[in-house]
Structure 1
C-alpha cells in the first residue's frame, strides 16, 4: 500500500496589478520618467504628512512652489515658463499625484487646467506675460470661479453680474466650492454681462473681494475649498479675458480639468489596491494569509480588471488628445467610468482591511471619501451620462 504526501502549494512571486496589463510598454521613455519623478516626490515629500494634513484639513501653501519646481503647474501648456508636455504625460502626473491624495491633483489641476488654461487660451498677451510665468513657478496661485450656490450643473444660469461703469467693470455675485480660493492671488471669474457670459481676471486683494474657507468637510480635506464673494469689485477694462466669450469658454476649461481626472482617479484606485494587496498578504485569518482565500482573490482580481481597463481607456483618450484633440463626450466617457470604478475599488478595498480600514493608517477610505467629491465636481455622473446619451441619440435630455 502506498501513501501520497499532501500537495504543497508554494507561493509564487506576486506582481503589481498594472503589470498584468504591461502598461509600461505602452509608454514612451519620457512619460515613464515623468511618472517616476512625480511618484518619488509623492512618496518622499507628501505621503509622510498625508494623515496629518487630512486630519487637520490643511494643505500648506508653500507646496505651490514645490509643485512649480517640478514643472507640474500648467505642464501641458506651451511657453510662458510652462513645460509644454504631452497630454499623456500630464495625465500620468495627475495619476501619481492622486495616488497620494485627490487634494494634490485638485490643486495642480485647478492651477494648470482652469486658472492657467483660461489665461493661456483666452487672455491677452499682457495678461499671459503678467500671470503665467508666476503661476507656473508657484509664485502665484490661481483659482477658477464658475460654480455658484444655485448653479452647478446649469452654469448658463449663473447670477454673478458684471456691469460697465465708464471704462471700468463692476462685479457682484457669489461663487461656491472653489478650490484654492482662500489662498489664491488671482481668480478667473465668469459673469453675466449685456454681451453674454465673459471672463475676468480678479486680483484677490481687490476691494470688495472676499474668500471664505469652507470647513467641516468630510471629503477633500487636504485641499482648500472656498466661497468667493464679490461685492462691488471694480476692475479696469484690461481685466476682461478678451477671447473668452460665451459659456463655451469656461466649459472648455472644465474639459481640460476633467481630462486630468480621467487619469487622476485611477491613482487613488491603484494606491487603494496596492495597499490592500500588501495588507491581505500579512493579515492572518484562521491561520493563513487573508490573500490566500478564494473570496479575497476574487475581489482583488475583479478590482485589478477594472483598474487596468480604466488605465487603458485613459491612455487611449490621451493619445487621441495629443494627436487630433479629444471631444467633450469622449472625456465624459473617461470621467464617468474611471471615477465610478475608482470609487468602487476604494470602497471594496476598505472591506478587506476590516477595522483597520477606518483609520488614516491605511489609504482606501480616505481615497473613497475624496472620490465622493470627484464623482460630482466638474460634471456629475448624471451630466456625463446625458452627454454620452446626446452623442448616441442626437437628442439633448438635460432639461
Structure 2
C-alpha cells in the first residue's frame, strides 16, 4: 500500500469530530513550523524539532483568568471543545496520528501542569490527503501572526490608548470583548522580531494591571491589515489609520530580489537605528557615562568630585556592540557595513569612558558603532527603497 493511499484511508476512518481535532492540531503545527523558520532566517537558535513540535493542548489553571490554549480556542470557535476532548485525543493517538504527553509548562509567572500534543508524520499526511486544497488555510507568510494572536492584537488596537483591564471580566462578557489571554499577551510582548506589541500599566486608582497596544504593535497592525484580512477574514478587525508603505494584500509578501546596492535586512535594521539615534541626537552610551560620573560625584567627598570631561559630552550618537547584537541578532553586520562596496557605511570608534583616578562601573574602552557620511547619504537616498523591501523595520519617522 502506498503512503498516500494509507494516509487517505486514515483520514477516511475518522469521524467529523476527530477530523476537526486533527485539523486544528495540524494548523497549529504549521504555524509553529513557520515561526521556527522565521527564527532560523534571523539566525536565532532554536530547539530540536522534538521539542518545538510539542504543542500545548490544555493547561491546568483557571479559565476565567488565563483563558485557553490556541488549539482549544479554535475548537471552541467550532463548537467542538467540551469534556469529551480527552477521549477524542486518545482515539487519534491510538491511530498513531498524534502523540499525547503530560508535563509542565512555564508561563513566566508560574509553572502549571500541561497536556501536550504532537502531530506525527502519519497524522500530517492524513490531513494533507483528506483536505481539499481550497479547504486548507492560506499559507501564512513569515513575520505575520497566527490567527489567535492577530485577533488579540485587533482587540487591543480597537481599545486604543485606554487599553484593556487584565482583571477578571464581568460575567456575561462576550468573547470578542474579553482581554486577550496571558499566553497571547506574553507572545505579543516577548516574541516579536520588531519589538514589543503590548505595554502593561497600572492606572491611577486601579488595583488591576491594564494592557494596551504599543506604537510598534500599532504599526504592525496598520502595515499588514489587508494581509490579515485575506488570511483571517472572520476576525473582527477595525479599519486602520493610513500608513506609508501599507500592504495591499498577501501578494506584497511575495519574495522580491534584493538589489545589489541595498544591504541585508539585519544590516538595514542597524542603519535605521543609527539614523534614528542621530535624528534625536541620542546616544545610550553617552547617557550611561554621564550617569556614572553623576553617581561617582554623589558618593565621594566634595573635595574629591571631578568635572565631567568635555569628551563625554562629545560622544556622538551610536550603538555599542551589545546594542547592535540586540537589534540585528549578530555583530557580523558591522563588518559587512564597514566593507560596503561604495564606501564604509559605519565606523567603529574607541570611546575612552573613564579617566585616571576615577572609578566608573564601565570598561575603560568601549567600541561605539556610528554612521559615516557615506552611511548617512545611503540612508537618505534609499530609505523609500528599504521601506518597500523591509516594511517591518522601523525608520526614523516611525517612532
Q: Which TM class, normalised by the smaller chain length?
A: under 0.3
**Higher share of residues assigned helix:** 1
How high is the TM-score relative to the length of structure 2?
A: 0.25
Bigger radius of gyration, 1 or 2? 2
